[in-house]
Structure 1
Amino acid sequence: MKLKLLILMVFFSTMALAQEKEGNMGSVTGTVTTADGNSGQGVDVKIKELNITTTAGADGNYELKNLPPGKYTIMIAKGKSDGYSQEIEITPENEHILLNIQLDYSSQKLEEVIVSSGGNRFAKKESDDVSKMPLKNMENPQVYSIVSKELMKEQNITDYNSAFKNIPGAGIAEVRNQGRTTNMSRGFPTPQLVRNGVGSFTYNTIDPANLERIEVIKGPSATLFGSTISSFGGLFNRVTKKPFDTFKGEISYSAGSWDLNRFTADINTPLNPEKTMLLRFNTAFHSENSFQDAGFNRSFLLAPSFSYAVNERLTFLLDVEFGIMKGTSPTRLAPYISKDPTKPALATSIEDMNIPYTRSFANNTVNYNGQQYNIFAQMKYKISDTWNSQTIVSRTRSSSEGYVVSLSALSDTTLRQSVTKQDYPYYGTDIQQNFIGDFKIGEHRNRVVAGLDFYSLKAYRNDATVNMPAIDYRNPGAAYNNFTISKIEPLFNNVTFNNFTSNNEQTYSAYVSDVFNVTDKFIAMAGVRLDRYFNKGSYYPEKDLTVGDYNQTAFSPRFGLLYQLIEKKLSLFTNYMNGFNNVGGSDFNGNPFKPSQANQWEGGVKLDLNKFSATVSYYNISVTNMTRPDLDHTEGSFLIQDGTQLSKGFEAELIANPVPGLNIVAGFSYNDSKYTKASADVDGLRPSTASSPTMANVWASYRFINGPLSGLGVGIGGIYGSKYYQTNTHTFTFSIPEYTVLDASVFYDRPKFRIGVKVDNLTNEKYWSYRLAAQNPTRVTGSFTFKF
């Protein structure tokens, strides 16, 4: 008994001593920021005397725990910080120390620090555009993905569409005439209409040379961005490169398969000793042929940006892109659908058609010219410590002039080439005023954005189309060579051109959104938008006739809840988001149609453990007020507005740095989309525009951090998409097969230069886009970059 009592006394004494010792332990916490105010993500913070190191997370926060009493030196362990260090002392009266660290270099320089330390290079999630206010990813109950310029460099990306291989559920880009592209988001086609958070109606090829990152905001986002520039599945925001306060530059040359020649330059410099006037200049020249027998693209981009800090309160930014291009139109093929039910089409997939993969059915003399400019002007003014004003003016113009081609299968063995001669200019204007506040009501923090938005789009069309004789697409013979501009141009002498105003739209909007901290860990978000939409219709001057003019008003709310189970590390979230599309026309009784509405409910988990960042979510999007044929009044082709569509699914994204030098980006998406009340021929079926139900992407790279091989790296990855449909009705389906495309790269990255080689489509997979355009076979690209 005495022995047991002695053991218990020793045990409890030991526990008490341990608790006393633990109670005397100290900690140091804080936030690392760069000189330009951005997050210091990836920076290693070290206690020199104890050789203990931690890494700042995506929001720049760090924590050093269980430190015994004593005097210590806090320092940046890796990267150049000009000798940053600070002495601290941990005592019983000073156990928990708050130490915020501001680096003396910009976020541009920070990337070199992260590379040298082997940190999580691709986990940069922080953005002021996603919520139109500074809001950390772990505080945001909305899902979004980021493709950074660092990831695009590592993958040796020379065309904009390839960047979307890194986005869960984006699929194969649908390239339309003029080179404009559409990708998928949650089962809905989503065009490229947003630049720096506002409307930028770019209808031409986008060059990636001026991109800082691509932000993919998931789900209906009309509350903050409006319906004109967002789809029911989300939106894609192109964030351009901005000036910073040090002299730096890169000049790069790339060459590769199919006569690729590409030159880019990125030069940044302060313009005065005070570094209040900054200039950055990007340019690109791109020339590339098609892997098919005909097809080419030549483009030139100039993109200067200038910022001026008048004083500590007032800052101006002017960001301009000007581009010209010449090329052949992308492939657009319509499959053969028999109109005789007794003689159905034999080909029910693109594989069944057996079209020669390398045959274009085009000619390089049949081409068009494109031109675009994007002007972004911004004024920021600090009204007070809690309120800021942001004024933005965005102007865009896109045009194409020349000849574009479309292909139509007329039978199981023949197709017809159609040529449109066109002159299409588009003009867009977006003027936006935002007031952004960060203040407390009692003990509760509020982050508010309130704004006014004016958006205008105007477009003109002058075009005519001619049809060529049908040819046997498997064995065309000499007829294949008759498709030249010299033989096509005379056909337009006998056709009537359409010359009219095709678009004339204006939207006046007001919105407000509040992110409210119920507690430090529990956050509620609420917002609403009012849109007043005016569509002045299409105007035909020869008849002095306007068709399709109408006005509509729409409300778009959103709500969200987020709880941080582990502060800044693990968050649970749910949201309700709304989007809408304006619908013109009226039903049989003359009642005007209402905007169609998309309502999303979503829930999920966000994780940020420095080395691992992940988002997992489930969403349910219900679309109402869709129009469908009125079966009770078929004599006049009337429509009724009671159609519905459902799109639900699961998405997961992982960005990991399990060991220094190894970086992984991976994603998975499953989308179940179907019409739930629609025309009889498609009711209950998956929309053909919804792309693959199941998609996956991965990219893994390893870079040597230390030793003689420092800077040498390899990468491998790929994308997968399940079978999907170009046509999907109860009477006929035309499918596109599943695909698995693998890519690999080798690179050598040093402070003064970079050499890279990329092989796309290692296995020479044959795969097609929704428009039945054959995608690139194996392609090799090499690049050399000089840094200064």
Structure 2
Amino acid sequence: MLFFTLSIKAQAITGTIKGSVRTSDGKPAEYVNITLNETNQGTAAAQNGHYSIRNIKPGNYTLVVSFVGLQTQSKQVTVVAGETITENFVLSEGGKQLQEVYVKSARHNKFLKKETEDVARLPIKNLENPQVYSVVTSELMKEQVVTSYVDGFKNIPGTGVPLVYNNGRTTLLSRGFVTGNFIRNSVAGYNFNSIDPADIEKIEAIKGPTGTLFNSSLASFGGLFNRVTKQPFATPRTEIAYQTGSFDLNRLTADVNLPLNQDKTVLFRINTALHNERSFQDAGFNRGFFVAPSLTYIINDRLSVDINAEIGNSNATSAYRLAPDTKGSIHNVKDLGIDYKRSFGNNSVDYLSRQIDIYALVNYKISNHWKSQTMFNKTYSTTNGIVTQLNLVDSVKKIKQQATKEDYPYYITNLQENFIGDFKIGQFRNRIIAGVEYYNQKSNNTNTTVTMPAISYLDPGAAYNNFTYDKVQALVAAAAPKAGGYVQNNQSSYAAYVSDVFNITERLNAMASIRIDKFDNQGAYTPADGKVSGKFSQTAWSPKLGLVYQLVKDQVSFFGNYMNGFNNVSSTSFDNTPFKPQYANQWEGGIKADAWDHKISSTVSYYDISVTNTTMDDPAHPGFSTQAGTQLSKGLEAELIANPFGGFNIVAGFAYNDSKITLAAPGSGLQGLRPASSGPARLANLWMSYRITEGQLHGLGIGVGGNYGSQSYQSNTQAFKFVIPSYTTVDATIFYDQPKYRLGFKLDNLTNEKYWSFRLAPQNPTRGTLSMSIKF
């Protein structure tokens, strides 16, 4: 009774604002933010577009409705004690979005952002595109409290456990091929170091050989990963977040967006991060600073310029890497008996990394049907210090710690000029891109490798603490100089390409594309002896064809594609014969759905990738390669992104991959076997979350999901196999998301599963992360 009386009194001295928010087409604007500027009070529109803000003190306020991609609106309101006022809003789509459906999808299915110009480099919808791709949104990564870039890949079918290299660079799997993270906003974003997720808007996994529209030096036969960064927009907005948790995680990020002039033609945004975290093992750490400023200048209604940068510095120890003994008797990582939490490292054996990346984009509208797109980037990244590797001698249960002192800078220049058209010839619509590209990559590698005395990996004793910077430096100083201790590399490519999407009927369209690349490798130059090795030049063509028929207009489509990709081969043959480019040809067919007002989006496909001119070790001539192989990679992929009812979202995927060497060099021991680098044959991912969308607890939500990978191999030859066991991980989160702030807590690997990457690196045990952010 007392609570009821107090509640009546509170309502008598305060007021309420309620209403609805809809888009220009009359549909509810779900998840739109409604705030009172003069207070910390606010809410988010429910799935039906309704909202309510209670317990407001009497007075005059500015009521603001905002959502990324929609035009912000505000109204002056007067709140009277004991009264409820109604304010309704109709919002229209803003010009920054690529397509109207992008905004609509986000409102109904918050993890669905399939509409993108990056995949086809043209403004075509997912249902019109004969290629398969997945998109991980920043909203999903925020819900999962992602503090590491590669953690976002848990939501992409078929990517597996990430491979982390000595300098923090990462790769993952795509259709049975190791695939790097070298594309940023559709151009070369080659970063030899780790990538911070602070300025990531979404991750796009583009599947299959993509040599027609993307530089083959930066993609694999399984596809590529394109990281799309956050861009400025016209509404001032700031979010500051702090994460802390297991393994002494301390991470502070800021996202500040603001227009710099009254006309909102000069827009600025900056994302920055401070990160400090240690390993769960007895040694190992990662400390870094990252800042990404971005500027958009809308010169007039035809011309705009985007300039942005990524600048980062970090200090870290090498990622764990273990090489098994190919002459030993142990064939499973679990049978080694190595302590999961022993690093066999030392925090004094570390390295520094640095990146300075500059990007520019100029868009010019030539006419109503044509635009010019000029893209430029200059990338610098380097590693300076000591990187490590562990080598086993399991016959005596010992391990050797190997250290390489290196200075390894990379310099990348990439320039593209594209002309993009959207026009009709008669009644037939054409969307076409024609372009040229120049790419150059230089690197200067100074390195000296030394090996410590072997120690027992079961009972190392005091010798465990012998792996220090001073001991490594002494061995480096005593090492005999060699000509290959300093190597310069320089390679360039020149490309021209054209792609056309031709609408035969309203429901049937065809895609035809072709690219020519001239690759020029100046070889590895060693100044010590003045020699150049591996110099060669190759030219390759890459075609692409696709067909799409929409069985149900804008809801269900059948598609098929043929895609070609190639890799320029720089290995050395015994007789010094130049190698041909390695080719991959993919045939794929499947079905795409985007139904129930974007509440269900799904893709199911079957692919067959045939690789020719495969290189492998030459059994007859150790230290050399032979180009005598073929490989077949085929499989099934399925993805589901669903919002079956208000507040409930599902992201799920499954990938089955059957890879094998169909032709191998005699004596290689690879004939008919699955390449170890192909990873698990079966991979699955699932994430489910529910958020309360109405009432006093709106914004409160929970999420649960996990990942599965079947058994795989670190080595797989007829002479030696080394098994990586299957794994299943489970993650969970709880969060409270409000217009002015957000709280979240995530538990990764709830069951404390022990599992390993392809490099036999133990993965994190159970890890908790608390995230707190304020938004204004």
Q: TM-score higher than 0.5 here?
A: yes
767-776 or 127-136, larger mean C-alpha shift: 127-136
Which residue in the other structure is 2:439 paired with? 455
SS of aligned partner of 1:594: coil
Match of 1:287 among 276, 292, 303: 276
1:347 lines up with 2:330 in the alignment: yes
TM-superposed deviation, 1:102: 3.5
Residues 417-436 of structure 1 aligned to structure 2 (within 5 Å): 417-436=401-420
Match of 1:469 among 446, 453, 465: 453
CA 1:630–1:349: 2 relative to 1, 3 Å:
closer
Q: How many residues align?
A: 699
CA 1:300–1:628: 2 relative to 1, 3 Å:
closer
Once residues 403 and 593 of structure 2 are traced to their aligned partners in structure 1, the CA distance between those partners, rounded to angstroms, is 52
Residues 588 and 607, structure 2, Cα contact 8 Å, conserved in 1: yes
Any gaps of 5 or more consecutive residues in structure 1? Answer: 1-41, 48-52, 57-75, 85-99, 339-344
TM-superposed deviation, 1:776: 0.2
Residues 9-28 of structure 1 aligned to structure 2 (within 5 Å): none
Once residues 768 and 628 of structure 1 are traced to their aligned partners in structure 2, the CA distance between those partners, rounded to angstroms, is 25
Residues 66-145 of structure 1 aligned to structure 2 (within 5 Å): 77=49, 80=65, 102-103=92-93, 119-145=108-134
TM-superposed deviation, 1:611: 1.0
TM-superposed deviation, 1:500: 2.9
Deviations along 1:734-755, one digit per CA (max 9) or x if unpaired, are: 0000000000000000000000
Which residue in the other structure is 2:55 paired with? none
Residues 620 and 646, structure 1, Cα contact 8 Å, conserved in 2: yes
Once residues 418 and 23 of structure 2 are traced to their aligned partners in structure 1, the CA distance between those partners, rounded to angstroms, is 36
1:505 lines up with 2:491 in the alignment: yes
Which residue in the other structure is 2:390 paired with? 407
Which residue in the other structure is 1:483 paired with? 467
Match of 1:742 among 716, 727, 730: 730
Residues 73 and 91, structure 2, Cα contact 8 Å, conserved in 1: no
Which residue in the other structure is 2:257 paired with? 268
SS of aligned partner of 2:314: strand
Which residue in the other structure is 1:514 paired with? 500
1:623 lines up with 2:611 in the alignment: yes
Which residue in the other structure is 2:746 paired with? 758
Which residue in the other structure is 1:783 paired with? 771
Residues 118 and 662, structure 1, Cα contact 8 Å, conserved in 2: no
The letter for the 2-side match of 1:758 is: K
Percent identity of equivalent pairs = 52
TM-superposed deviation, 1:667: 0.2
TM-superposed deviation, 1:640: 4.8
Match of 1:380 among 352, 360, 363: 363
The letter for the 2-side match of 1:506 is: S
Deviations along 1:32-51, one digit per CA (max 9) or x if unpaired, are: xxxxxxxxxx976776xxxx
TM-superposed deviation, 1:720: 0.2
Once residues 447 and 29 of structure 2 are traced to their aligned partners in structure 1, the CA distance between those partners, rounded to angstroms, is 59
The letter for the 2-side match of 1:767 is: Y
TM-superposed deviation, 1:411: 2.1
Which residue in the other structure is 2:548 paired with? 562
Match of 2:354 among 371, 382, 394: 371
TM-superposed deviation, 1:588: 7.3
Residues 210-225 of structure 1 aligned to structure 2 (within 5 Å): 210-225=199-214
CA 1:271–1:122: 2 relative to 1, 3 Å:
same
Match of 1:178 among 167, 170, 173: 167
SS of aligned partner of 1:293: coil
Once residues 313 and 111 of structure 1 are traced to their aligned partners in structure 2, the CA distance between those partners, rounded to angstroms, is 23
TM-superposed deviation, 1:177: 1.2
CA 1:625–1:289: 2 relative to 1, 3 Å:
same
Once residues 43 and 588 of structure 1 are traced to their aligned partners in structure 2, the CA distance between those partners, rounded to angstroms, is 70
Once residues 309 and 82 of structure 1 are traced to their aligned partners in structure 2, the CA distance between those partners, rounded to angstroms, is 19
Which residue in the other structure is 1:707 paired with? 695
Any gaps of 5 or more consecutive residues in structure 2? Answer: 1-20, 31-47, 52-64, 66-70, 75-89
Once residues 399 and 588 of structure 1 are traced to their aligned partners in structure 2, the CA distance between those partners, rounded to angstroms, is 33
Once residues 231 and 175 of structure 1 are traced to their aligned partners in structure 2, the CA distance between those partners, rounded to angstroms, is 17
Which residue in the other structure is 1:678 paired with? 664
Once residues 245 and 133 of structure 1 are traced to their aligned partners in structure 2, the CA distance between those partners, rounded to angstroms, is 24
Once residues 518 and 114 of structure 1 are traced to their aligned partners in structure 2, the CA distance between those partners, rounded to angstroms, is 27
TM-superposed deviation, 1:629: 6.2
TM-superposed deviation, 1:593: 2.2
CA 1:614–1:748: 2 relative to 1, 3 Å:
same
Which residue in the other structure is 2:591 paired with? 605
Once residues 592 and 145 of structure 1 are traced to their aligned partners in structure 2, the CA distance between those partners, rounded to angstroms, is 37
CA 1:636–1:83: 2 relative to 1, 3 Å:
closer
Deviations along 1:560-602, one digit per CA (max 9) or x if unpaired, are: 0000001110000000000101123686777532101000000
Residues 109 and 642, structure 2, Cα contact 8 Å, conserved in 1: yes
TM-superposed deviation, 1:132: 1.1
Once residues 716 and 731 of structure 2 are traced to their aligned partners in structure 1, the CA distance between those partners, rounded to angstroms, is 31
CA 1:78–1:466: 2 relative to 1, 3 Å:
same
Once residues 543 and 188 of structure 1 are traced to their aligned partners in structure 2, the CA distance between those partners, rounded to angstroms, is 37
Residues 570-609 of structure 1 aligned to structure 2 (within 5 Å): 570-584=556-570, 592-609=578-595
Residues 684 and 708, structure 2, Cα contact 8 Å, conserved in 1: yes
Match of 1:335 among 313, 316, 324: 324
Which residue in the other structure is 2:234 paired with? 245
Once residues 103 and 138 of structure 2 are traced to their aligned partners in structure 1, the CA distance between those partners, rounded to angstroms, is 16
Residues 45 and 54, structure 1, Cα contact 8 Å, conserved in 2: no
Residues 22 and 91, structure 2, Cα contact 8 Å, conserved in 1: no
Which residue in the other structure is 1:278 paired with? 267
Which residue in the other structure is 1:721 paired with? 709
410-419 or 620-629, larger mean C-alpha shift: 620-629
Which residue in the other structure is 2:247 paired with? 258
TM-superposed deviation, 1:472: 0.6
CA 1:658–1:356: 2 relative to 1, 3 Å:
same
CA 1:783–1:682: 2 relative to 1, 3 Å:
same
Query: Which is greater in Rg?
Result: 1
Residues 78 and 113, structure 1, Cα contact 8 Å, conserved in 2: no
The letter for the 1-side match of 2:166 is: N
Deviations along 1:500-552, one digit per CA (max 9) or x if unpaired, are: 33421000000000000000100100000000000000001011111110000
Residues 543-558 of structure 1 aligned to structure 2 (within 5 Å): 543-558=529-544
Once residues 112 and 694 of structure 1 are traced to their aligned partners in structure 2, the CA distance between those partners, rounded to angstroms, is 31
Once residues 147 and 711 of structure 2 are traced to their aligned partners in structure 1, the CA distance between those partners, rounded to angstroms, is 27
Residues 279 and 305, structure 1, Cα contact 8 Å, conserved in 2: yes
Once residues 192 and 585 of structure 1 are traced to their aligned partners in structure 2, the CA distance between those partners, rounded to angstroms, is 22
SS of aligned partner of 1:124: coil
Once residues 768 and 757 of structure 2 are traced to their aligned partners in structure 1, the CA distance between those partners, rounded to angstroms, is 21
CA 1:346–1:559: 2 relative to 1, 3 Å:
same
Once residues 643 and 622 of structure 2 are traced to their aligned partners in structure 1, the CA distance between those partners, rounded to angstroms, is 62
The letter for the 1-side match of 2:145 is: N
CA 1:472–1:637: 2 relative to 1, 3 Å:
closer
The letter for the 1-side match of 2:717 is: T
TM-superposed deviation, 1:499: 3.8
SS of aligned partner of 1:511: strand
1:207 lines up with 2:193 in the alignment: no
Q: CA RMSD in A?
A: 2.4
Which residue in the other structure is 2:650 paired with? 664
TM-score normalized by structure 2?
0.87
Once residues 691 and 318 of structure 1 are traced to their aligned partners in structure 2, the CA distance between those partners, rounded to angstroms, is 38
The letter for the 2-side match of 1:570 is: V
Residues 338 and 457, structure 2, Cα contact 8 Å, conserved in 1: yes
Deviations along 1:440-472, one digit per CA (max 9) or x if unpaired, are: 000000000000000000001111011111111
Residues 582 and 611, structure 2, Cα contact 8 Å, conserved in 1: yes
